Amino acid sequence: MANIAKRPNGRWRARYRDDAGKEHARHFDRKIDAQRWLDEVSASQLTGQYVDPRAGRVTFRAYGEQWRQAKPHRPTTAVKAEQHLRVHAYPAFGDMPLARIRRSDVQSWVTGMEKSGMQPSTVRTTFNTIRAAFRAAVEDRVIAASPCQGVSLPDVPRRKVVPLTVDQVRALAEGMPDRYQALVILGAGTGLRPGELFGLQVRHVDFFKRQLRVEQQVQQTKGGGTRVCPPKTKESERVVPLPDVVVHALVGHLKAFPAGPDDFLFQDPAGGPVVATRLMDGAWRPARKSAGLPKVTMHQLRHTYASLLIAAGESVKVVSERLGHTNAAMTLNVYSHLFPDSEGKTRRAIDGAFEPKIIKAADSVRTDDAR
Could you report the per-residue pLDDT of 161-219, keeping only the tens digit for each?
889 999 999 999 999 999 999 999 999 999 999 999 999 999 999 999 999 999 999 98
Residue percentage of the chain with pLDDT more than 90: 58
Task: State which of 121, 139, 157 marks the end of a domain.
Answer: 139
160, part of any domain: no
Q: Does residue 342 surpass a pLDDT of 70? A: no
Looking at the structure, tell me whether residues 187 and 212 fall in a common domain.
yes
Confidence (pLDDT) at 209 = 95
Looking at the structure, tell me whether residues 219 and 290 fall in a common domain.
yes
Looking at the structure, tell me whether residues 202 and 233 fall in a common domain.
yes
58, part of any domain: no
- Measured between alpha carbons, how far is 2 from 141 in angstroms, rounded to an integer? 21
Looking at the structure, tell me whether residues 331 and 198 fall in a common domain.
yes
Give the count of domains, the chain.
4
- Measured between alpha carbons, how far is 214 from 230 in angstroms, rounded to an integer? 9
203, part of any domain: yes
Looking at the structure, tell me whether residues 127 and 234 fall in a common domain.
no
Looking at the structure, tell me whether residues 330 and 349 fall in a common domain.
no
Looking at the structure, tell me whether residues 332 and 188 fall in a common domain.
yes
156, part of any domain: no
With residue 179 as reference, give the H or E element that holds it. Answer: helix 178-190
Task: State which of 93, 121, 139 marks the end of a domain.
Answer: 139
150, part of any domain: no
Instruction: Tell me the mean pLDDT in the region 296-308.
Output: 94
Instruction: Tell me the mean pLDDT in the region 146-150.
Output: 93
SS3 content of the chain, % helix, strand, coil (to 5): 55, 10, 30
161, part of any domain: no
CATH of the domain at 241: 1.10.443.10
- Measured between alpha carbons, how far is 137 from 125 in angstroms, rounded to an integer? 19
- Measured between alpha carbons, how far is 51 from 70 in angstroms, rounded to an integer? 21
Task: State which of 139, 157, 182 marks the end of a domain.
Answer: 139
Bridge partners, residue 15, by sequence: 3, 25
Confidence (pLDDT) at 363 = 58
Residue-range definition of the domain harbouring residue 279: 166-337
Confidence (pLDDT) at 4 = 84
Looking at the structure, tell me whether residues 190 and 300 fall in a common domain.
yes
Confidence (pLDDT) at 305 = 94
Mean pLDDT of the chain: 87
Looking at the structure, tell me whether residues 135 and 180 fall in a common domain.
no
Confidence (pLDDT) at 348 = 75
- Measured between alpha carbons, how far is 120 from 14 in angstroms, rounded to an integer? 47
96, part of any domain: yes
- Better pLDDT: 295 or 105: 105
Looking at the structure, tell me whether residues 83 and 210 fall in a common domain.
no
Looking at the structure, tell me whether residues 329 and 257 fall in a common domain.
yes
Looking at the structure, tell me whether residues 188 and 305 fall in a common domain.
yes
How far CA 182 is from CA of 14, 240, 304, in Å, comes to 74, 17, 16
Instruction: Tell me the mean pLDDT in the region 241-249.
Output: 95
159 confidence band (pLDDT: 50, 70, 90): confident
Confidence (pLDDT) at 16 = 77
